[in-house]
Amino acid sequence: MASPLQYNYSAAQPYISGPDWDRVTPALEAARKEVIADVEMLDSKKAVPAAKDPLDSGFIELPRRLLDGGDNKLLDRMLDSAKRLRDQIDILVSLGIGGSYMGLRAIFEACCHPYHNELTRSERNGSPRLYFEGDNLDSDATSGLLDLLQKRCRNPKELTERWGTVVISKSGGTLETAAAFRIFRQALEKYYGPDSAEARNLIVPVTGEKGKLRDLSNGRKYPDTFPIPDGVGGRFSVFTAVGLYPAAVLGVDIKAMLEGAADMTETFKKTAIGENPVLDYTAVCHLLEKHRGLKTRILSTWGKKLEAAGLWYDQLLAESLGKHERGALPLTIVNTRDLHSRGQQHQEGARDKLITNVIVRKPSLPGIAVPVVAETEDQDQLNRLKGKTLDQLLVAAIQGTNKAYADDERPTADIVLPQLDAYAIGQLLQMLMLATVVEGRLIGINPYGQPGVEAYKNNMAAILYGK
Ligand code: PA5
């Protein structure tokens, strides 16, 4: 096993009473059992009781099953197809929204070079640039990307001027993605030839077993279409083809990522409370919300590469537990950037926040020292740093910030990743998905499904289609 993620909650522990810990322990054990039993219930294909409907617990064992060759060696088929696509294009346009978008973006930002799209193809190790669309109804953003494609891609025979698309939608009926797919499909077919085999080869749908996108994909005979299995909900689908396939096109080590996720599931199932990141994190969040009124959960990411993972988590928590007029408010920040915007409120504002830091021990790229200059040029007085690296400054910022919160009796906890790689991101995302469903079971809210999202869609359909 590569280095495990750690969850340190010693700075939060003083705010939780011994009796509260004692009371939550059996409830947490029961929630763990229920979450594991949910997997068995889904596997059994028996009717799901109304209180558990929908039941989307398929994400829990999926990483290990894929690694073990499940679904007819789906992982190998994805890797083969990803290599084919990667060798044929220099720009990948990913179309999707919500759970069909945010997990991929989290992986991309965490695992790829911060300026991936600006690098040459060889500097990108032969992987394409990546752009996202279909995540909005934003005319300028869509026009902007089409304009960029038109300007950069003039000769479809030149590898560096070739583009393709992955269209991701579980239901296959989400308007944002469906409309974007029509628009980009038309542009792609215009570029490579209408209804040409070439255009068909460069479109890869990722979708559920049924639905409009599945029908479209069958009708147009796209050679590679990958499934989003029943029993895996949108925001829990990052380790299906939704995140895995495009990540593989980018050259991310998706096997390592699945290993990280599968190891986290094992840790969750087998490790005692007190050494179990999933259960400990759930307990701290839950107890501080229940007994101290900490209804705002700040995910304080220390590094820009984790911002998208935080936004993915905002969706996960909000859509899973924001039901029946309950559910904590998730808020992602990126430090030290947001110490200069939200920091004041977190230090002196309402006492309704739990701050969970996400800390990466080692930078992905070589560290940079602040240069030491001649004394006559030291007007900014940074020679006092004695050539410390930015990374060392960040450690001081983390320690200083945590101490400032502790001095004012504001609880914090830390999720610590040894480094930011595919294995670590696999662990982190799986930990947060498991913690979300455990908390749902603990407080009696079905974490799966998002019935509230239908209201606006129905109104919109009535406005657009008159029904
Ligand atoms: O968690 C969910 O199910 C949602 O956020 C969906 O991922 C989102 O609405 C997109 O749906 P679809 O993949 O069906 O287009």
Q: Do 63 and 430 touch, CB atoms closer than 8 A?
A: yes
| 88 shares a domain with 198 | yes
Which residue's CA lies nearest to atom 3 of ligand 1?
A: 234
Does residue 275 sit within a domain? yes
Do residues 170 and 278 both lie within one domain?
Answer: no
Distance (Å) from CA 105 to ligand 1 centroid: 15
CB 237 within 8 A of CB 103: yes
What is the residue-wise DSSP string for 437-459? HHHHHHHT---S--GGGHHHHHH
DSSP alpha helices (H): ranges in 225-367?
A: 241-249, 254-270, 277-292, 307-321, 343-348
Of 186, 255, 193, 198, nearest in space to 84 by CA: 198
Any atom of ligand 1 within 6 Å of the Cβ of 170: yes
- The CB density around residue 37, as the number of other CB atoms within 10 Å, is 12
In degrees and rounded to multiples of 5, residue 417 shows phi and psi of -110, 130
Q: How far is CA 172 from the centre of its chain?
A: 20
**pLDDT tens string 203-253:** 999 999 999 999 999 999 999 999 999 999 999 999 999 999 999 999 999
Shared domain check, 292 and 171: no
Say which residues have a Cβ less than 8 Å from residue 293's Cβ, sequence separation at least 6. 351, 352
Residue 454 lies in a domain: no
Tell me if 243 CB under 6 Å of ligand 1.
no
2 pLDDT higher than 90: no
Q: So what's the pLDDT on residue 198?
A: 94
Residue 453: inside a domain? no
- CA dist 275 and 236 (Å) reads 24
User: Taking a C-beta distance cutoff of 8 angstroms, is the pair 391, 367 a contact?
Assistant: yes
Judge if 89 and 46 occupy the same domain.
no
59-105 tens-digit pLDDT = 999 999 999 999 999 999 999 999 999 999 999 999 999 999 999 99
Rounded to whole angstroms, the Cα distance separating 74 from 62 reads 11
Same domain, 294 and 214: no
Could you tell me the distance, in angstroms and rounded to a whole number, from the CA of residue 316 to the centre of ligand 1? Answer: 11
One-character DSSP codes across 117-128: GGS-TTTTTTPP
Q: Which residues are catalytic?
A: 319, 340, 457
Same domain, 390 and 414: yes
CB atoms within 10 A of CB 83: 14
* Total number of domains in the chain: 2
Pick from 220, 252, 284: which residue ends a domain? Answer: 252
Q: Ligand 1 pocket test: which of 102, 133, 174, 437 has the largest number of ligand atoms within 8 Å of its C-beta?
A: 174
How many A from CA of 170 to the centre of ligand 1? 7
Domain contains 457? no
At residue 237, what are phi and psi to the nearest 5 degrees? -100, 15
Considering the domain architecture, whether residues 280 and 417 belong to the same structural domain is answered as yes
Domain final residue pick, 200, 226, 252: 252
Q: Are residues 48 and 66 in the same domain?
A: no
What integer pLDDT is reported at residue 195 of this predicted model?
82
If asked whether residues 139 and 122 sit together in one domain, one would say yes
CA distances from 42 to 31, 171, 207, 209, 238 (A): 16, 19, 20, 16, 19
CA 174–ligand 1 middle distance (angstroms): 8
Residues 34 and 130 in one domain: no
Helix axis angle, 212-220 to 175-192, nearest 10°? 20
* Residue 382 domain flag: yes
| Residue 296 in contact with ligand 1 by CB distance below 6 A | no
How is the chain split among helix, strand and coil, in percent rounded to 5? Answer: 55, 15, 30
Q: Classify residue 450: in a domain, yes or no.
A: no
Please write the tens of the pLDDT for every residue from 150-204: 999 999 999 999 999 999 999 999 999 999 999 999 999 999 998 899 999 999 9
Instruction: Work out the mean pLDDT of the chain and round it to a whole number.
Output: 97
Tell whether ligand 1 has an atom less than 6 A from the beta carbon of residue 392: no
Classify burial at 183, counting beta carbons within 10 Å of its beta carbon; exposed 0-12, middle 13-18, buried 19 or more.
Answer: middle
Show which of 252, 275, 297 is a domain's final residue.
252
Q: Which atom of ligand 1 is nearest to the CA of 174?
A: 15
Residue 409 lies in a domain: yes
Same domain, 203 and 72: yes
* Residues in Cβ contact with 165 at an 8 Å cutoff, skipping those fewer than 6 apart: 92, 93, 94, 95, 181, 184, 185, 188, 202, 203, 204
- The bridge status of strand 163-169 relative to strand 129-133 is unpaired
For ligand 1, pick from 59, 94, 95, 97 the residue to mutate: most ligand atoms within 8 Å of CB.
97
pLDDT (average), residues 417-446: 98
For residue 467, pLDDT beyond 90: no
Residue 169 CB–ligand 1 contact under 6 Å: yes
Distance (Å) from CA 226 to ligand 1 centroid: 16
My answer on whether 96 and 145 are in the same domain is: yes
In percent, how much of the chain has pLDDT > 70? 100
Name the one residue in this structure whose structure tokens are 């290599």: 83
Helices within 112-202 (DSSP H only): 139-152, 175-192, 197-201
The length of the chain is 467
Query: Containing domain of residue 387, as a range?
Result: 6-53+260-443
Q: Please report, for the domain that includes residue 230, its CATH number.
A: 3.40.50.10490
Give the model confidence (pLDDT) of 16-43 as tens digits: 999 999 999 999 999 999 999 999 999 9
Whole-model pTM above 0.85? Answer: yes
The whole-angstrom separation of Cα 303 and Cα 285 is 22
Confidence of residue 3 (pLDDT cuts 50, 70, 90): confident
Q: Is residue 452 part of a domain?
A: no
